[in-house]
């Protein structure tokens, strides 16, 4: 005779085992991040103060602060976002809303996937050839930011396209039945309802852009430049390159100084990401579906 209670008990045990398994897997993913943050805070937190954040490096970068590198990183990330986000969103709108499924669009999608897998050093060499030499921008914030923008463009395109396709087709059909054009439907309905997904791509772009070293090393970042940039055609220091330099190239650097720079870099990325995530949560809360 079939025993329903015994089957229910066994199912609950199996469910409990899988719950524990998934919890352990999640813990294994979070644990390295927690350890890294703890080590950085423990070894580098002692040097992080207002003087460290708002003064220039001194004594051959073995002491002093990181203010030029901090401002330079903000410059690089901001200009890269201004370039890649409009272009990436426009490309995603075309691929999602206008393009037909044919050989041409399939080639474009394949190119986007391949571009996402290109190593950063290859993007750096491309940036030197295209922006530094061909367009004659020189080693500048503009050349470095455009290189970073090209490198992170696939992330923006893919995340935007997925969020656009997640908007129900019934929304579009309702607008078309009311006499709206395709662009009016995209601008008034589709984009507002996909903004949270677009922000996801921007969050990923900020994280990668702020931490890249090779592209900015060859195209716009300086080894040591105590003055702040005045325009996008100037060179600048960058947090990622500054960390690499003081950790590997400068003798006599105090042990806790590189950890302090790394701690500030991680904190800056987490702060920008947190603001973007908070804005995304707010927009998702306003959705009606």
Q: What is the 3-state secondary structure (H, E, C) of the chain?
A: CCCHHHHHHHHHHHHHHHHHHHHHHHHHHHHHHHHHHHHHHHHHHHHCCHHHHHCCEECCCCEECCHHHHHHHHHHHHHHHHHHHHHHHHHHHHHHHHCCCCHHHHHHHHHHHHHHCCCHHHHHHHHHHHHHHHCCCCCCHHHHHHHHHHHHHHHHHHHHHHHHHCCCHHHHHHHHHCCCCHHHHHHHHHHHHHHHHHHHHHHHHHHHHHHCCHHHHHHCECCCCCCCCCCCCCCECCHHHHHHHHHHCCCCCCCHHHHHHHHHHHHHHHHHHHHHHHHHHHHHHCCCC
- What tens digit of pLDDT does each residue of 49-67 get? 999 999 999 888 888 889 9
- More confidently predicted of 81 and 279: 81
Rounded distance, CA 173 to CA 187, Å? 14
Q: What is the pLDDT of residue 19?
A: 92
Q: Which two tokens stand for residue 52?
A: 């460290």
The CATH architecture of the domain made up of 50-285 is: Orthogonal Bundle (1.10)
- What tens digit of pLDDT does each residue of 174-222 get? 888 888 889 999 998 898 888 888 888 888 888 888 888 889 999 988 8
- Work out the pLDDT band at 261, boundaries 50, 70, 90: very high
Q: Hey, how many other C-beta atoms are within 10 angstroms of the C-beta on 74?
A: 16
- What tens digit of pLDDT does each residue of 132-164 get? 999 999 999 999 999 999 999 998 998 899 899
Q: Is the pLDDT of residue 287 over 80?
A: no
- Work out the pLDDT band at 80, boundaries 50, 70, 90: very high
pTM comes to 0.87
Question: What is the phi/psi pair of residue 56, to 5°?
Answer: -85, 160
């Amino acid at each position: 005779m079939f025993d329903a209670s015994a089957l229910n008990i066994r199912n609950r045990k199996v469910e409990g085992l899988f719950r524990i398994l998934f919890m352990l897997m999640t813990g294994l993913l979070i644990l390295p991040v927690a350890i890294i943050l703890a080590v950085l805070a423990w070894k580098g937190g002692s040097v992080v103060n207002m003087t460290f954040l708002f003064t220039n490096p001194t004594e051959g970068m073995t002491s002093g602060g990181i203010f030029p590198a901090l401002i330079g990183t903000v410059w690089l990330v901001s200009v890269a976002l201004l370039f890649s986000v409009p272009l990436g969103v426009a490309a995603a709108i075309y691929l999602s809303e206008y393009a037909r499924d044919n050989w041409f669009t399939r080639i474009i999608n394949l190119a986007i996937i391949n571009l996402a897998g290109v190593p950063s050093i290859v993007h750096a060499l491309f940036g030197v050839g295209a922006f530094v030499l061909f367009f004659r921008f020189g080693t500048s914030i503009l050349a470095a930011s455009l290189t970073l923008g090209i490198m992170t463009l696939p992330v923006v395109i893919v995340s935007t396209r997925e969020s656009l396709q997640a908007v129900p087709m019934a929304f579009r059909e309702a607008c078309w039945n009311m006499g709206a054009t395709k662009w009016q439907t995209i601008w008034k309905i589709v984009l507002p309802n996909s903004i949270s997904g677009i922000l996801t791509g921007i969050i990923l772009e900020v994280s990668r852009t702020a931490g890249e070293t090779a592209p900015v090393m060859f195209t716009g970042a300086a080894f040591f430049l105590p003055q702040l940039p005045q325009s996008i055609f100037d060179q600048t220091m960058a947090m990622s390159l500054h960390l690499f330099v003081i950790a590997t190239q400068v003798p006599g650097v105090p042990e806790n100084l590189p950890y302090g720079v790394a701690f500030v870099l991680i904190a800056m990325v987490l702060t920008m990401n947190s603001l973007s995530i908070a804005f995304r949560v707010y927009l998702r809360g306003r959705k009606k579906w």
